[in-house]
Amino acid sequence: MNTLPRFSTKANIEERQHLERVACARRVGMFTERMTVTPEFARLILEKFAPAGTNRRLRHMYASLIARDIAQGRWNANTHQGLAFREDGILQDGQHRLAACAESGVAITLPVTYGQPNDVFEVVDQGTPRTTADLIQRAGLDIPSSANAAALARLVLCLRGNDFAAAARGMSRAVVYEFVGDNRDSINHAVRVGMNTATGLKSKTSPSMLGAAFYLIIEAGAPEAVAHEFFDRLKDGVGLTKRSPILVLREATKAGAVYGRYTNSGERARASVAAIISAWNLWRAGKPCQSLNSILYSRETGVPTVTP
């Protein structure tokens, strides 16, 4: 005899189907099927089948990043990561994916497991999350350093926005990975320049900051040979006169004075890129650098526009 309650609305029908799968798992044991999960189903589960204490604390920012990827068509339906329900129908894994689906308003396809033993929760999601660098490396992109490529791409994308901090908070791994894939050759080139320049400078300025500045200079339309000359002289200091913008930048960078006043990593990155671009602009205009202040970053002026 069927003891399940009767339902009529779409949400109630989805609840009935959920309970039918729970009952099936009790009869036949744990099983997994690929399902199309609707925003209505996601909200139903989060409201009725994910009581407090049964899942990790919901990180809303992380769920919003996934939601953005879903809404922009970057959800991969072939993923092995999905949802898992305990033998009593309570959600055991997939809370953030459900929250993202509900927020995006878009249905997603993913594997759903029913009848998972209750004690499995203790070992679910205990590994280290994949980074953007991991994704780049796994994709086999021909880039000398996936970590530098990921950092460089993230920095360039953040600098393009009007609000650096907001852009950094809202930047998902998928967006950065897609940007690297779409601009592989240019980023590959910039990574190599950044690493090469950093080796010569022997300063605390990271290769990704140097590479990001090179990328933005080339992107603005500067001749590649001229840009290479600038970064080669920044690296080795050969033939630079006393008031050369490159020499002032080089000495300030080596001394840590370019970003010394900032402790926030985002502002340190902006300060480094801003100083490089300021020195580049002076050098391209054939002007001397009268003082270090001529190239230093300030919150008021921000990162200058590149002069090609």
Beta bridge partners of 79: none
CA angle (147 as vertex; 139, 172 as ends), nearest 5: 75
By C-alpha distance, which of 148, 252, 151 is closest to 204? 252
Residue of higher predicted confidence among 206 and 21: 21
Token pair of 120, please?
Answer: 């499995």
pLDDT of residue 168: 66
Question: What whole-number distance in Å separates Cα of residue 53 and Cα of residue 100?
Answer: 20
Please check the confidence at residue 62 and state whether its pLDDT lies above 80: no
Using CB atoms within 10 A of its CB, is residue 49 exposed (0-12), middle (13-18) or buried (19+)? buried
By C-alpha distance, which of 229, 139, 154 is closest to 191? 154
Please check the confidence at residue 275 and state whether its pLDDT lies above 60: yes
At 167-205, the pLDDT tens digits run: 666 677 777 877 887 888 899 899 999 999 999 888 778
pLDDT bucket at 81, cuts 50 / 70 / 90: confident
Q: pTM for the whole thing?
A: 0.61
pLDDT of residue 142: 60
Q: How far is CA 79 from CA 82, 104, 110, in A?
A: 8, 18, 7
Average pLDDT of span 211-218: 96
DSSP 305: P
Which residues, 6 or more positions from 201, have their beta carbon under 8 angstroms from its beta carbon? 210, 234, 235, 250, 253, 254
pLDDT of residue 229: 97
Residue percentage of the chain with pLDDT more than 70: 85
Please check the confidence at residue 278 and state whether its pLDDT lies above 50: yes
Beta bridge partners of 112: 33, 83
At 152-172, the pLDDT tens digits run: 988 998 888 766 766 666 677
